[in-house]
Chains A and B, each alone.
Chain A
Amino acid sequence: MIRIANGQGFWGDSLEAPVDQIRRGPIDYLTLDYLAEVTMSILQKQRTRDPQAGYARDFVDLIARVLPDLKDRRIRVIANAGGINPMGCRDAVLERAARQNLPLKVATVTGDDITDRLDQFLKRGIELKHMDTGEPLSAIRAQVERANVYFGAFPVAEALGLGAEIVITGRVADAALTLAPMIHEFGWKEIDWDKLSAGIVAGHAIECGAQVTGGNCQVDWETIPDLADIGYPIVEAEPDGTFSVTKHAGTGGRVTVASVKEQLLYEIGDPTQYITPDCVADFTTVHLDQAGENRVRFTGIEGRPATNYYKVSISYTAGYKAMGSLVYTWPDAYKKARAADQILRQRLTRLGLRFDEIRTAFLGANGCHEIPTAEPTPEIEPHLPEVVLRVGVRSENRAAVDRFTREIAPLVLNGPPGVSGLGLGRPRVEEIVAFWPALIPKSEVRPEVAIWPSAN
């Protein structure tokens, strides 16, 4: 049996979680997921300013902090912290290890970055059509910032096979970070579809960190113990493809069949076809049992052969946006917020500003759900203590969005009464980076695995 922990569900997740995973109980592998789709573009912007940047710096600080513990406990780390500069990330980690006089073997998995090859692909008739709309990439080619392939678990397992104590990857499918140590330890092959699918289901269960141990858990949320000290998830994996999800003893949160079900259903499509680079997992074959306190056992998982394609995530710039908020108070909170929205829109029209979209939400009065049955009833409405007016605009024209940001604050003095600006100041104009999911034949790209210091 091996223990694979997750200590980071996204870049910006708890800084203490990975440290707790290392120090508060036994684990063999620590996986860390840093790359949301939007992260690649943020890293791109950082690298434009500083060629040495472009990776998750938090990861380097974390390794520097826990390196002696990793050594003592022989824990190996797998992280997609490399972003768009995995080699830079590796060098930074090696430098911090050298400062502590600790020898360290760090491997990288690269080759996912196909930004510079896009035109070559398009010329050869690989259209990189949008997976949902079918549009060819040529429609937005000029706006493209980056293109990265999602690799699977085998190159990561290869890196572990080379003896890496830390594996730093670029873009790799989130669940593959968990599957990789199983392939490495248990010798699973490319055709072991059922076992690979089990590893992917395990990865899916823990890739969002505490979302499987009681975080964002809807069922009986009030009775979940000690969320302040919530434990992050650990997979206890067996060579036959069965596994349990649990957490360290003494931590908060809860692992039950119900909490696990919520996470299994998170961000999936057709449950019989969960497509990953390594296999197609069938979530309708998962069997769950409560095997003990805070321990759920997974059995029966089946899957099918992988497809011949990798998914590609292409980021492109798509104009500008800004969001402004004001809060209106009783009496007539909702009525005043709606009136202010109308006044603001009239002013924007009078200024001749054109937007692709203007969107209003009334928070506190059906601002999130926005469905007809969630509207405050006429009996409730007059009693609402406050309603937040939140207006967003989007446009190709930065100047129009910038002008919009000047029209929020004046409403405090020249609009409906009983209003606060929430101390937020003028809204910020943001450049929008949008995403274009596409497929590419696997034969067109190859993962590259390397280790430092090298064998000789």
Chain B
Amino acid sequence: MAKRKLVEIAHARSGDKGDLVNIGLIVRKPEDYPILLREVTADRVKQHFEGVCKGKVERFELPNLGALNFLLHEALDGGGTMALKADPQGKTFSTALLRMEIDVD
């Protein structure tokens, strides 16, 4: 198995809902979807956002789009207008996730 960065096989978009961030993660080639399913687990995402996401991480599968949707709870310091973060609407969580290192076949 070789190490690659997630950005090489997937693209993403993120946004906010209150204190929660959602990240849609989409595989570039359909044949790589099993890699996404295996490598990018809710636990790994929680670990990747250590110190940033203070609540749980949920993962939902959209096989029809070759995509996963992650919900990161308590990730925006209270959310929206309360947050003092540089990215109070969670727009760059997408690219932060794409930094993740994964094992590919």
CB–CB B60/A270 < 8 A: yes
Beta-carbon nearest neighbor of B100 in chain A: A373
CB–CB B82/A323 < 8 A: no
Contact of A368 among B62, B84, B86 (CB under 8 A): B86
CB–CB A219/B11 < 8 A: yes
We find that the number of chain B residues with CB closer than 8 angstroms to chain A is 47
Q: Is A46 an interface residue (CB 8 A)?
A: no
CB–CB B82/A262 < 8 A: no
We find that the number of chain A residues with CB closer than 8 angstroms to chain B is 49
Q: What is the bound-complex CA distance between A432 and B92, given in angstroms?
A: 23
**Given the contacts A265-B67, A271-B60, A219 and B81 also touching, CB distance less than 8 Å:** no
CB–CB A435/B81 < 8 A: yes
Within 8 A of B (CB), among A128-145: 132
CB–CB B22/A269 < 8 A: yes
Q: Is A12 an interface residue (CB 8 A)?
A: no
Contact with A along B78-105 (1 / 0, CB 8 A): 1111101111000110111011100000
Beta-carbon nearest neighbor of B53 in chain A: A371
**Given the contacts A271-B69, A361-B86, A433 and B81 also touching, CB distance less than 8 Å:** yes
CB–CB B69/A268 < 8 A: yes
Q: Which residues of A contact B24 (CB under 8 A)?
A: 261-262, 264-266, 268
Within 8 A of A (CB), among B1-23: 11-13, 15-20, 22
Contact of B64 among A258, A284, A373, A435 (CB under 8 A): A284
CB–CB A218/B81 < 8 A: no
Q: Which residues of B contact A291 (CB under 8 A)?
A: none
**Given the contacts A132-B20, A218-B12, A218-B95, A265 and B84 also touching, CB distance less than 8 Å:** no
CB–CB A286/B84 < 8 A: no
Closest Cβ–Cβ distance, residue A264 to chain B (whole Å): 7
**Given the contacts A218-B13, A265-B24, A361-B85, A287 and B64 also touching, CB distance less than 8 Å:** yes
Could you say which of B18, B49, B61 has the most chain A C-beta atoms within 10 Å of its C-beta? Answer: B18
Q: Is A216 an interface residue (CB 8 A)?
A: yes
Contact with B along A106-134 (1 / 0, CB 8 A): 00000000000000000000000000100
Q: Is B56 an interface residue (CB 8 A)?
A: no
Q: Is A354 an interface residue (CB 8 A)?
A: no
Contact of B65 among A261, A357, A368, A435 (CB under 8 A): A261
Q: Is A240 an interface residue (CB 8 A)?
A: no
CB–CB B62/A283 < 8 A: yes
Beta-carbon nearest neighbor of B101 in chain A: A373
Beta-carbon nearest neighbor of B50 in chain A: A372
Q: Is A38 an interface residue (CB 8 A)?
A: yes
Q: Which residues of A contact B100 (CB under 8 A)?
A: 373
Of the 9-residue stretches A27-35, A161-169, A389-397, which lies at the interface with chain B?
Answer: A389-397
Beta-carbon nearest neighbor of B91 in chain A: A216
Q: Which residues of B contact A286 (CB under 8 A)?
A: 64-65
Q: Is A148 an interface residue (CB 8 A)?
A: no
Q: Is A367 an interface residue (CB 8 A)?
A: yes
CB–CB A323/B50 < 8 A: no
CB–CB B18/A288 < 8 A: no
Q: Which residues of B contact A372 (CB under 8 A)?
A: 50-51
Beta-carbon nearest neighbor of A283 in chain B: B62
Q: Which residues of B contact A261 (CB under 8 A)?
A: 24, 26, 65-67
Q: Which residues of A contact B48 (CB under 8 A)?
A: 371, 373
Closest Cβ–Cβ distance, residue A138 to chain B (whole Å): 19
Q: Which residues of B contact A262 (CB under 8 A)?
A: 11-13, 24, 26
Q: Is A285 an interface residue (CB 8 A)?
A: yes
CB–CB A38/B81 < 8 A: yes
**Given the contacts A361-B86, A434-B80, A288 and B65 also touching, CB distance less than 8 Å:** yes
CB–CB A371/B92 < 8 A: no
CB–CB B77/A357 < 8 A: yes
Closest Cβ–Cβ distance, residue B67 to chain A (whole Å): 6
Q: What is the bound-complex CA distance between A65 and B20, given in angstroms?
A: 39
Contact of B50 among A284, A288, A363, A371 (CB under 8 A): A371
Which residues of A line the B interface, CB within 8 A? 37-38, 132, 216, 218-219, 258, 261-272, 283-288, 318, 321, 323, 357, 359, 361, 363, 367-374, 390, 392-394, 432-435, 437
A and B contact pairs by CB, cutoff 8 A, 12 listed: A218-B12, A218-B98, A258-B28, A261-B67, A265-B69, A266-B15, A269-B17, A269-B71, A368-B86, A372-B50, A435-B18, A435-B79
Beyond contacts A132-B19, A288-B65, A371-B48: 18 other A-B pairs, Cβ-Cβ < 8 A, are A132-B20, A262-B13, A266-B15, A267-B17, A269-B17, A269-B22, A270-B60, A283-B65, A284-B62, A284-B63, A287-B64, A318-B81, A323-B84, A368-B96, A371-B51, A373-B48, A390-B86, A434-B78
